[in-house]
Chains A and B, each alone.
Chain A
Amino acid sequence: MTIDQRICELVAQVSRVSPDQIQPNSDLYRDLGIDSLRTLELVATLETELGVAIPEIELLGLKTPRDIADKIAFFANIPAP
């Protein structure tokens, strides 16, 4: 599974939107309803499931699962998707 797919899966878990409806370029807020409160749940889920520490502030400006994947890659020091 690619990091893109894994992020989409975790975003699906938090947003309760079916994973097959989530694309790496889906809009987190507009298409998936992830508002600031759910951003925090998303951070918690990402940190627990992926074992990375993400300053939650870093996720505030991110718009898509692909943006998150890029950021996680940066914090986990792995190549971006």
Chain B
Amino acid sequence: MLLIEDLKVEVGGKTILQHIDLEIHPGETHVLFGPNGSGKTSLLMTIMGYPQYRVVAGKISFKGQDITHMPIYERAKLGIGISYQRPPTIHGLKTRQMVSICARGEIDVVELARKVNFEDFLDRDLNAGFSGGEIKRSELLQLMAQNPDLMLFDEPESGVDIENLQVVGKTIALLLQKNSFPDQDKPKMQLKLERRKMGLIITHTGFILDYVAADKGQVLYDGMLSCLSNPREILNCIHENGYKECVRCIM
């Protein structure tokens, strides 16, 4: 379980998140909405452990451990992974090598890449000249290889074309064990019990909801989170009343 309690975060001396409470249980996927600059990416980076996002109050725990000040790579080892909005380019490091690094052992990189239409990119330097949509698939591929227990997705569907949107959506659903069209052979209850993966997805459009059966949704506005609600309802509310109204009406 991921548990965030009354978190306050600063960047460069400026408060960007405050009074953040969040609880994601095993098997649950949450969706995060919010206007540009509201602090969504910052929240994900803070959970991942980026040191420039300074936690000045509150606490983050994962799997029962206090990880508030744990270094990034230890969080990764503990089972937290992220798909970035804007990852850096690493010259000379082939995407193929990176996928192997994420897997921490033997895997069939090509086979995995095929699942997100990415086999043609394996011999390119990581993120070098990748288009917006290609970056998303590269990030997803790395997460597939890493297969962490808590997955943070920063706008996984933005910039992705219609055909690849389906690929991205289905892959995320599979990773999070949140397939909207589950295995017919298994009873729903059993599927729910087997489901352990946790997800936190940032989305502006909500397209991802067509593929991933998300459990809860929240709006981040001005560095603060609204109460939990059904993600579809939130999306409708935002469409009708705008972010600000929506935060108020839910609260």
A and B are partners in one complex rather than unrelated chains: no
Report which B residues bind A (CB closer than 8 A): none
Report which A residues bind B (CB closer than 8 A): none
